[in-house]
Structure 1
Amino acid sequence: MASARTDENPYVEEPETDFRPVEELSEDEAGEQAEQLREAIRFHDYRYYVENDPVVADRTYDALFTRLQDLEDAFGLRTDDSPTRRVGGEPLDELGTVEHVAPMLSIDSSGEAEDVREFDERVRRESGTERGDDLRYVCEPKFDGLSVEVVYEDGEYVQAATRGDGYTGEDVTENVRTIASVPHRLRGDYPDYLVLRGEVHIPEAAFRKLNRERVERGEDPFANPRNAAAGTLRQLDPSVTAGRPLDCFFFDVLDSSYEFETHWEQHETLPEWGLKVNDRSERTDDIEDAIDYRDRLMADRPDLDYEIDGVVIEVDDLSTCAELGTTERHYRWAFAYKFPARSEVTEITDVTVQVGRTGRLTPVALLEPVDVGGVTVSRASLHNPEEIAEMNVNLGDEVDVERAGDVIPYVAEVVAKHSEGHYEFPDHCPVCDSAVEFDGPMAYCTGGLACVAQLRRAVEYYASDDGLDIEGLGGERVDQLVDAGLIEDSLADLYRIEEDDLVALEGWGETSAENLLAELEASTHPRLRDFLSAIGIPKVGPATATDLAREFGDLDAIRTATREELESVEGIGPTVADQIAEFFASEQNEHVIDDLLEAIGPLETPRATETGDELAGLTFVFTGSLDGYTRSDAQELVEDHGASATSSVSGNTDYLVAGDSPGQSKLDDADDEGVPVLDGREAFEENLREKGVEP
């Protein structure tokens, strides 16, 4: 294998980018060049993400990466550990679950220095360390991101999972694979087995850029970097994850075939293996130095490019940590010293109104930019029209801006009134000029699916798991199709897209175009209940859609049903009945639905042979991977026969169905509530047969 040294690899410190055409290369030449490029890209990733000292310009790196993609596509050379896997693999049906190698527990915390000193006293008392004896601590920033477990075997990346309940988490292997700071292959003299805890986050500068692009496209911005990172990491389409600027710090070794003696040794060794650690971590000689570290880091917080809400202080010596052990929820050898909440006063310069998928209008204050705890804030939520009236807030007023959860900017109160009255909420949609209706404190655009702002998110929802489950049609691809004019004013435009239209777009090829068109073809003639859920009727999700389909039997009957008839359906109250009736009464929605039905053909309506009420009144919860069923298949099976399928265990749950790698929290809840557990497919199907349902 070619090494990454300049004298052996022509693509490292002074890379050649004037490549011969791919078609002129032999298979041997292509294979050799591809391997050199992989090694070079890994080297440059290490210099950029770990050493923070890149040796080539971004455009040069991009040229190397593109060349590798071209070679792998032309000669079928793609490998499991190739850097090109970072662009994302095939979409997943659902995220599976993974049992952690070691528990990923939480950390006890406080914002008071005295509590930190009490932690030190307890550690000394329980470890037998006398006052005055050395007791070193490692201090690190407390990142406001998403914890993950990452596993390497023989130096190769093999698995990643979210923290979940601390004992099992969601399998996010393919999504974490797309994060450039998570190496596919370790460097140096790495151990045979290594399990790490890391924190996935979105850097502040990248988050602001991401939100700016979303707002410019007419989308709602993400509330905060943590939520954006969490949602991105749980995407079923890894290509969506790859398109978001995720980053990862590693800070703890959960298990390893290499024996460490201290946490600080871990911190110093991980970069040698190509793993990114935080350069603001320090080792201190006593607890007072640790408290001083927190104060210094809080002062430097404005200059950091990542969100933190405190510091983590952990005992350095690992044998002492093992002696201290854990509680059921917390490590006894670690403590989080939190920062105080943040707020600042600034002036409102304007108010903009954003339109969401369901037509909900959200007012956002545009602010004179202000530094709030180290982050420049220029926009903040005004909540809703009712809140605006209660605060009596208007343009020109000075307001107190806070960051809820230490992150989300919002207007808390008016501190100096420089205007008369409050901001008058518009009576027409700022996007489509349709009338605005008010429902309690909320405001909604009545344009429905004919409103372009709603159409973008309506298409995304139509293709989601709760809709028709069209793989490969996530938010970014929907935006691309709308921006290209392929979706203009109707969901039906999806079914008018041709292969040439897609291939002409950036990032699309024949294979991805064919895959999407095949998915769209497979979504024609959907079941009535899936269609009802997919078209975005306010307050109608899969469960309510199932009830409507079962009660009325066909779409025309639902479209013409009165409020009283709708309210007679079990589980549908006056508010939901009004929403359904108003949705179908809209002329714009009527046009869009008729157009859509023309494109997809007749719906599959419930048939007596497929449905029944054998399970009526029962509630099922599913956890883990059930052999032979996807999660949605199993839920639909019980719902087809009158049962409800919910996501959490409660006193109303009749059965918890547990497949492979079940969530420990659901099993614990079932035990607490006395809920019977059906262990695996055989027990599940036997239970159904006992009730007259043939799986």
Structure 2
Amino acid sequence: MKDIKQHIVNLRNELREHNYNYYVLDNPTISDFDFDIKLKELQALEEAHPEFYDANSPTQRVGGEVTKNFETVKHEYRMYSLDNSYSKEDLLDWEKRIKKLVDGDVQYTCELKYDGASISLTYENGQLVRAVTRGDGFQGDDVTANVKTIKSVPLQLKGDYPSKFDIRGEIVLPFEGFNKMNEDRVANGEEPYRNPRNTASGSLKLQDSAEVAKRPLECLLYNLTGVNLGVSTQFESLEKARFWGFKVPNEAVLASSVDEVLEFINLWDTKRHELPYETDGVVIKVNNLQHQDELGYTAKAPRWAMAYKFKAEQVSTVLNKITYQVGRTGAITPVANLEPVELAGTTVKRASIHNADQIEKLDIREGDTVFVEKGGEIIPKIIGVDFTKRSTNSKPTTYISHCPECHTKLVRTEGDAKHYCPNYNGCAPQIIGRIQHYISRKAMDIDGLGGETVALLVKAGLIKNYSDLYELTKEDVIPLERMAEKSADNLINGIKASVAIPFERVLYAIGIRYVGETVAKKLAKHYKSIDNLMDASQEDLEQVDEIGIKIAESVKQFFASEENISIINRLRQFGVQLQISEEELKGQTDVLKGQSIVVSGVFEHITRTELKKLIEDNGGKVSSSISSKTSFVVAGDKMGPSKKEKAENLGIPLINEIEFLQKIKNNINFND
């Protein structure tokens, strides 16, 4: 029996090595026929000896697991977006910001930006345990069964890998495989797929993993995430990941200046067309991981990385008609309805025109031939008009004066680019939009309830605002279009479960204009409850960190509405979280209230992330740069000499992590 087990182990190791050579190194050392013979031998042995089952055996790649509902999983480390740049000036500005915040020379890793579906892979003890889509960056869908079928994803690592880590990358569909799939579809009388990116993304959500296994997907990895990873630079992390068995593109280079970065960009702006995958730019990262740590993140993106987008593709087509959409805040957006045209791998029928000023500035008219571009934005936009093709009968566009939905006269305040419909409580798209925002993933994340169902509920007269959701019954929703019994159960259970969503997300969900995720977190942390926030004066609101006049006015305006107060009180009755929980409040103090603190260096007893959270939990503000307003610096090992010198020249105290932790533990005010 021991001999059989050892033979199985040896076969698995041999097949993994052949798989790595073929799919990662593109250097096969065995014929397809011989590989298949060995794989069949292993399958037969595993079937005869189920006691030696291994979820990460090479035989598991054929798929067969069916997933009806993909479980939502919270990312242990958030998946951030990237800031975009389009010129040398953008990159130079970015470099200036970096050099203000870190000491010493800065190197950059330049990597090609592949256009696929973002994925996060979690490995424990060298084995793949989870694959999760990007989702909203905070949580995504568990697609492990499907990702295991992708041959370039190692199920078992080799070498000196850390005991646990995440690695991020893109699931892509090479052009060759994509074209072959389309040839087969056309031969079978089916519509061809539109582009590789969307096809790759859609493949991850197929319910039958055996179907995914038939698709020639690949996984290109580019970022290690975790603690104690044994690497000190981004470039080293790419080399390590490659050594452990990941498919890491070889095109990355190190650059010492923006000029060298631009050389790389210019080379690949042309050469990318020779690559087997879709690319849409270059990602530039600060190479030193300690520098990355010091630079940290904004609310949406790392400060240490920038995506340089290749010049967007442009096409021209005819603008048939301008229509107008009403958003949840009442904002009116003009939309160009176009003669369908192919652009960046998709058929474009509509494009954004932004506002009345844009229409006037570009002199956009119905019947014009317009230039359309799909750049950093998801929605294509009109960037100009071909005046040589304009009809002599053409008439300037007159912007609408009344809401296209409820016919209320539009308003436009001074300094605001958009027109608004003021019929807050009687305009259907605003009502539907607010409820759709309330249920969205980053807000209340109500499982089983989508945007289309919200519209059906409103049109059926079952709900008029988001507090009405909590009175819905299964009997109410069963008659809705495409609503089966199981779907109705999921919807009602999802609504019930949403009462556990924490206060900061509820505050974002209720839809106060200008109160996005970050502002909601700041207000929730500062005021602790919705009642405290409602009672705050405008002057008090403006004193909160990063809350300006516009946000303060909007908050006061929201709570001045009797209908909004009534809705909030109904949410309270249904048990929705309208204050920070006791558990969350535990350990929070005002010891650092009003103090601006810089964290610099490498720490031994606590991670930089934990240190920053401690500062914020105790009322302090984490600042990235030292100035006369800095209260003190928590200084670790390898603190930059120029930072240290600046702090000393300004007379700003430096304390080590032990002193800081001791003061927090003893609840000692740092001004003492």
Question: TM-score scaled by structure 1?
Answer: 0.50
Alpha-carbon distance in structure 2 between the residues aligned to 1:507 and 1:675 = 64
Show the counterpart of 1:520. Answer: 498
Whether 1:493 aligns to 2:468 is yes
Q: What whole-Å deviation, never above 9, does each CA across 1:76-127 have from its counterpart, x for those lacking one?
A: xxxxxxxx9xx335446x73699xxxxxxx9xx99xxxxxxxxxxxxxxxxx
CA contact (8 A) 1:157 1:184 kept: no
Residues 178-217 of structure 1: pairs in structure 2 closer than 5 A: 180=147, 186=154, 193=161, 199-200=169-170
Alpha-carbon distance in structure 1 between the residues aligned to 2:581 and 2:161 = 52
Show the counterpart of 2:420. Answer: 444
Show the counterpart of 2:375. Answer: 404
Structure 1 vs Structure 2 CA RMSD: 7.1
Q: What whole-Å deviation, never above 9, does each CA across 1:521-559 have from its counterpart, x for those lacking one?
A: 446xx87x886554222134333566678998474x56x
Query: Which segments of 5 or more consecutive residues in structure 2 lack a partner in the other structure?
Result: 16-34, 89-109, 176-194, 205-211, 231-235, 253-263, 293-306, 600-606
Partner SS for 1:485: helix
Alpha-carbon distance in structure 1 between the residues aligned to 2:572 and 2:596 = 33
Show the counterpart of 1:74. Answer: none
Report the alpha carbon displacement of residue 492 of structure 1 after superposing the two structures with TM: 0.9
Partner SS for 2:469: helix
Report the alpha carbon displacement of residue 382 of structure 1 after superposing the two structures with TM: 1.0
Whether 1:682 aligns to 2:664 is no
Q: What whole-Å deviation, never above 9, does each CA across 1:626-679 have from its counterpart, x for those lacking one?
A: 39x9x5x974651xxxx5x4686574874699899x999xx9999899796774
Q: What whole-Å deviation, never above 9, does each CA across 1:478-520 have from its counterpart, x for those lacking one?
A: 4376267398321113323568989997897999889846643
Report the alpha carbon displacement of residue 413 of structure 1 after superposing the two structures with TM: 1.7
- Find the partner of 2:61 among 34, 43, 50: 43
Partner SS for 1:537: coil
Show the counterpart of 2:513. Answer: 538
CA contact (8 A) 2:439 2:449 kept: no
Show the counterpart of 2:340. Answer: 369
CA contact (8 A) 1:619 1:652 kept: no
CA contact (8 A) 2:542 2:549 kept: no
Alpha-carbon distance in structure 1 between the residues aligned to 2:553 and 2:156 = 65
Alpha-carbon distance in structure 2 between the residues aligned to 1:413 and 1:188 = 53
Report the alpha carbon displacement of residue 393 of structure 1 after superposing the two structures with TM: 0.9
Report the alpha carbon displacement of residue 441 of structure 1 after superposing the two structures with TM: 0.7
Report the alpha carbon displacement of residue 348 of structure 1 after superposing the two structures with TM: 1.2
Alpha-carbon distance in structure 1 between the residues aligned to 2:623 and 2:384 = 37
Question: TM-score scaled by structure 2?
Answer: 0.52
Alpha-carbon distance in structure 1 between the residues aligned to 2:50 and 2:451 = 39
Report the alpha carbon displacement of residue 250 of structure 1 after superposing the two structures with TM: 2.0
Report the alpha carbon displacement of residue 394 of structure 1 after superposing the two structures with TM: 1.9
Query: Which segments of 5 or more consecutive residues in structure 1 lack a partner in the other structure?
Result: 14-28, 46-63, 71-83, 99-105, 111-138, 164-169, 206-223, 234-241, 258-262, 282-289, 313-324, 330-335, 559-564
Show the counterpart of 2:92. Answer: none
CA contact (8 A) 1:657 1:677 kept: yes
CA contact (8 A) 2:663 2:670 kept: no
- Find the partner of 1:566 among 503, 513, 538: 538
Alpha-carbon distance in structure 1 between the residues aligned to 2:491 and 2:132 = 30
Whether 1:65 aligns to 2:33 is no
Alpha-carbon distance in structure 2 between the residues aligned to 1:202 and 1:653 = 47
Q: What whole-Å deviation, never above 9, does each CA across 1:544-593 have from its counterpart, x for those lacking one?
A: 566678998474x56xxxxxx63565346654454345434557646644
Whether 1:617 aligns to 2:594 is yes
- Find the partner of 2:610 among 604, 620, 626: 626
**Letter in structure 2 aligned against 1:626:** E
Identity %: 24
Alpha-carbon distance in structure 2 between the residues aligned to 1:603 and 1:338 = 42
Partner SS for 1:685: helix
Show the counterpart of 1:308. Answer: 280
CA contact (8 A) 1:434 1:447 kept: yes
Alpha-carbon distance in structure 2 between the residues aligned to 1:497 and 1:663 = 57
Q: Sort the Cα spacing of 1:500 and 1:250 in 2 relative to 1 into closer, same or farther, 3 A.
A: farther
**What number of residue pairs does the alignment pair up?**
506
Partner SS for 1:438: coil
CA contact (8 A) 2:435 2:466 kept: yes
Report the alpha carbon displacement of residue 387 of structure 1 after superposing the two structures with TM: 1.4
Alpha-carbon distance in structure 1 between the residues aligned to 2:316 and 2:161 = 51
Q: What whole-Å deviation, never above 9, does each CA across 1:299-330 have from its counterpart, x for those lacking one?
A: 679xx884434799xxxxxxxxxxxx99999x
Alpha-carbon distance in structure 1 between the residues aligned to 2:157 and 2:549 = 67
Report the alpha carbon displacement of residue 392 of structure 1 after superposing the two structures with TM: 1.7
Q: Sort the Cα spacing of 1:511 and 1:692 in 2 relative to 1 into closer, same or farther, 3 A.
A: farther
**Letter in structure 2 aligned against 1:689:** I
CA contact (8 A) 1:655 1:678 kept: no
Alpha-carbon distance in structure 1 between the residues aligned to 2:145 and 2:172 = 13
